Chains A and B, each alone.
Chain A
Amino acid sequence: MSAFQDPFDAGTALTRGCSCGNHRDQPEHDAELTHGGSDALASRVVDQAVMRALFPRDAERRRFLAAVGAQTALAAVAGLFPLAAAREAFAQGTGQIEKPNLKVGFIPITCATPIIMSQPMGFFGRAGLNVEVVKTAGWAVVRDKTLNKEYDAAHMLSPMPIAITLGVGSRPIPYTMPAVENINGQAITLSIKHKDKRDPKSWKGFKFAVPFDYSMHNYLLRYFVAENGIDPDKDIQIRAVPPPEMVANLRADNIDGFLAPDPVNQRAVYDGVGYIHTLTKDIWAGHPCCGFAASKEFVTQLPNTYRALLKAIMEATAFAAKAENRKQIAEAIAPANYLNQPVTVVEQVLTGTFADGLGNIQKVPNRIDFDPFPWHSFAVWIMTQMKRWGQLEGDVNYASVAREVYLATDAARLMKEVGLTPPAATTKKFSVMGKEFDPAKPDAYLASFAIRRTV
């Protein structure tokens, strides 16, 4: 008995042809039935499941139906089992958006591109959502406003949902990250006065800024200097400064450099205060940076809203992934309502044709790229670095935390819907500065570093 057949029909053919006999085979019958409307179809699937549970054997079901008639059978079953309620419960899975008016917080950086461009370019509107994207002053405020439920969802740094779930630096609250927003797109920028100190080994005593303690920026900068023999806790100083304040601090000589998201790096070049030393894509090609995050509560209690919101962001990500759309996006997100930057700065970041601060024009088309798939391996790598620098102590079940927080299954399903090709696996090996990371052996990886805080 196929899932779309009428379970109250005693004459349903079990082998050949279709159940009503008017079609060549069952798929054709089902296809026509589907045109009758997905609601009728959905309730039939529910009835079907109930009847199958009540009468596991087809012969028995037929005898029962033939003896009492379809109407009586329907009434009898409905008396035993709340069919109407079950139909309704099932219908909700594909139905109405529970909460069309949403607030999503963001930090004014190009990493937030898929989230903020969805507003002016209409991706949210087409999904039936009215989303207000709210500019926020810093990561700690984004975290607190999201935990307070002032924001329904937010743009976060990809380590933040992991830290929040584990209760590192905040109360433990189950959090999820169903999509990565951007890959690559960060850079190490140094003050123009250090024009001649290109060798990281000469950076002892430098003061660096990163956007947040729980950020890829922090982990990548630490990784980069440590690989060059500099201990990030002893030889240099790293402080958390919100991205918008970084250029002002670099200008004032408060810091010697930063590993920051764009447009901060490009803005430092634009204002003549810094030069781009290393793009993070040359540290780890394809690393995740920011993500779209929501609480587990939001995901489970407003499933339709969550799906619509995520799908809009996936569509925007797919649109942003195409190089030919980047100029248009730069114009949409540069105004005061979003990034509040000169268009040329945003354009240089997104197109990858940029001034490096030393008088050269570089062409790196994949300086920033957009790929929404939240690889579980990313989460595992982040946790190894959290342990490496003493943010996370004790044993941690890497795989299960990664699975709980990085919702790869949801991402894969929606990626298919918007025409992207999701990978078949959720883990992969990758290399950071030439050193391979195997997500199956996180502890061995951690132990292989000479400079680390954990024993």
Chain B
Amino acid sequence: MKGLHFWGAPLLSVLMLLAFLAVWHAGTLPQTGVQVVDPEYAKLVGAEAATGRKSAFPTPAEVGRKLWGHLTDPFYDKGPNDKGIGIHLAYSIARVAAGYLLAALVAIPIGFLIGMSPLAYRAFDPFIQVLKPISPLAWMPLALFTLQDSAVSAVFVIFICSMWPMLINTAFGVSSVRREWLNVAKTLEVSALRKAVRVILPAAAPTIMTGMRISIGIAWLVIVAAEMLVGGTGIGYFVWNEWNNLSIANIVSGILAIGLVGMILDQLLARLTQLVTFPE
């Protein structure tokens, strides 16, 4: 019974994956259509068009082959518009890291201030409420116009979208530190700075980390869209470039890579959260 408890979930996962692949395979089985055009014409068009159909979704095997190709040679560089998937991922991660760290530098101090002062909270609130729901991509044309640089604009978009969850969570975490602890600090006549660093920060850390974890997820979602828009490098550009080529197999490879990296980033932040969590 204990064995089933331990192995049950992974087993079920594998079964689900296999079932999914089987359905996919069955759904995309190459149909043996009759060629409806003369051979000379058939040479000029794709195999599906020659049998009077539209080009089809790739089979799992085709995607697997493409994926294997990307995995075995992820860092090739054949010029500015043809680079390996590893290089694209590195560009995207670098952009996310830059925008995200900048956002943390700005959002956590402001969040602290807002959380500690009810006046600041009420003053900042209308701005946060208006700015928070704006889709980060809506900033893109504005950023391109004012910042005059597409690389900086992409980082800016990451910055602006990862700021709000961190800011709000920091403010919430700081403002909901237990009264008793603050009172103890007051009784001991602890200085304001010491109170912030030794009492409030450790108490609010798990909430702040949760905000940071939400932010990294959003940042990774947004970078793909932003790169599809500005192009050049990054995993978003990779997907766009393959869309341009209508290569669904490559797009699926890109999607898998995006999912894997997103999962890794999320797990990293989850580990960090565990480090600062304390038992009450």
Give the B-binding residues of A (Cβ under 8 A).
Answer: 108, 119, 132-137, 140-141, 144-145, 148-150, 192, 244-245, 247-248, 251, 267, 269-273, 335-338, 340-342, 344, 348, 354-355, 357, 359-361
Complex CA distance for A149 and B148, rounded to whole angstroms = 8
Chain A residues within an 8 Å CB radius of B27: none
Can you pick out 21 interface pairs between chain A and chain B where the beta carbons lie within 8 Å of each other? A133-B80, A133-B81, A134-B80, A134-B231, A135-B81, A135-B231, A137-B230, A144-B145, A192-B54, A245-B243, A245-B244, A248-B246, A270-B44, A270-B45, A273-B55, A337-B79, A337-B81, A340-B81, A344-B43, A354-B44, A361-B41
Cβ distance A149 to chain B, nearest Cβ, rounded Å: 8
Question: 18 new A-B pairs (CB below 8 Å) besides A244-B240, A272-B54?
Answer: A134-B80, A135-B232, A137-B229, A141-B231, A144-B144, A148-B148, A148-B150, A244-B244, A245-B244, A269-B45, A271-B246, A272-B45, A273-B54, A335-B82, A342-B46, A355-B44, A357-B49, A361-B41
On whether the beta carbons of A336 and B54 are closer than 8 Å, the reply is: no
Chain A residues within an 8 Å CB radius of B79: 119, 337
Scoring A248, A272, A344 by chain B CB atoms within 10 A of each residue's CB, the highest score goes to A272
Chain A residues within an 8 Å CB radius of B141: 140, 144
Give the A-binding residues of B (Cβ under 8 A).
Answer: 36-38, 40-41, 43-46, 48-49, 52-55, 78-82, 141, 144-145, 148-150, 228-232, 237, 240-246
Cβ distance B153 to chain A, nearest Cβ, rounded Å: 9
Chain A residues within an 8 Å CB radius of B240: 137, 244
Cβ distance A422 to chain B, nearest Cβ, rounded Å: 33
Complex CA distance for A248 and B242, rounded to whole angstroms = 11
- Which of A141, A271, A360 meets B46, CB within 8 Å? A271
On whether the beta carbons of A148 and B144 are closer than 8 Å, the reply is: yes
Our count of residue pairs bridging A and B at CB distance below 8 angstroms stands at 111
On whether the beta carbons of B55 and A271 are closer than 8 Å, the reply is: yes
Complex CA distance for A357 and B79, rounded to whole angstroms = 34
Cβ distance B223 to chain A, nearest Cβ, rounded Å: 15
With A148-B144, A248-B246, A344-B43 known as contacts, the answer to whether A269 contacts B81 (CB < 8 A) is no
With A341-B245, A361-B41 known as contacts, the answer to whether A145 contacts B53 (CB < 8 A) is no
On whether the beta carbons of A336 and B44 are closer than 8 Å, the reply is: no
Complex CA distance for A245 and B36, rounded to whole angstroms = 28
A245 to chain B: closest residue by CB: B243
A133 to chain B: closest residue by CB: B80
B54 to chain A: closest residue by CB: A272
On whether the beta carbons of B150 and A145 are closer than 8 Å, the reply is: yes
Cβ distance A340 to chain B, nearest Cβ, rounded Å: 4
Complex CA distance for A338 and B245, rounded to whole angstroms = 11
- Which of B37, B78, B228 meets A337, CB within 8 Å? B78
Complex CA distance for A375 and B39, rounded to whole angstroms = 43
B148 to chain A: closest residue by CB: A148
Chain B residues within an 8 Å CB radius of A144: 141, 144-145, 150
Chain A residues within an 8 Å CB radius of B55: 270-273
A340 to chain B: closest residue by CB: B245
On whether the beta carbons of B228 and A270 are closer than 8 Å, the reply is: no
On whether the beta carbons of B232 and A340 are closer than 8 Å, the reply is: no
Complex CA distance for A335 and B241, rounded to whole angstroms = 12
On whether the beta carbons of B149 and A150 are closer than 8 Å, the reply is: yes
Scoring B45, B46, B150 by chain A CB atoms within 10 A of each residue's CB, the highest score goes to B45
With A137-B229, A141-B229, A141-B230 known as contacts, the answer to whether A248 contacts B80 (CB < 8 A) is no
Cβ distance A100 to chain B, nearest Cβ, rounded Å: 16
On whether the beta carbons of B232 and A134 are closer than 8 Å, the reply is: yes
Complex CA distance for A156 and B118, rounded to whole angstroms = 54
A344 to chain B: closest residue by CB: B44
Chain B residues within an 8 Å CB radius of A136: 231-232
On whether the beta carbons of B45 and A355 are closer than 8 Å, the reply is: yes
Chain B residues within an 8 Å CB radius of A244: 240, 243-244
Complex CA distance for A273 and B81, rounded to whole angstroms = 27
Chain B residues within an 8 Å CB radius of A270: 44-46, 49, 55
Cβ distance A268 to chain B, nearest Cβ, rounded Å: 10
Chain A residues within an 8 Å CB radius of B241: 135, 336, 340
On whether the beta carbons of B81 and A134 are closer than 8 Å, the reply is: yes
- Which of A251, A338, A355 meets B54, CB within 8 Å? A251
The 3 closest A-B pairs by CB, nearest first: A272-B49, A244-B244, A337-B82
Complex CA distance for A323 and B144, rounded to whole angstroms = 41
- Which of B80, B82, B243, B244 meets A132, CB within 8 Å? B80
On whether the beta carbons of B44 and A361 are closer than 8 Å, the reply is: yes
On whether the beta carbons of A359 and B230 are closer than 8 Å, the reply is: no
Chain A residues within an 8 Å CB radius of B148: 148-149
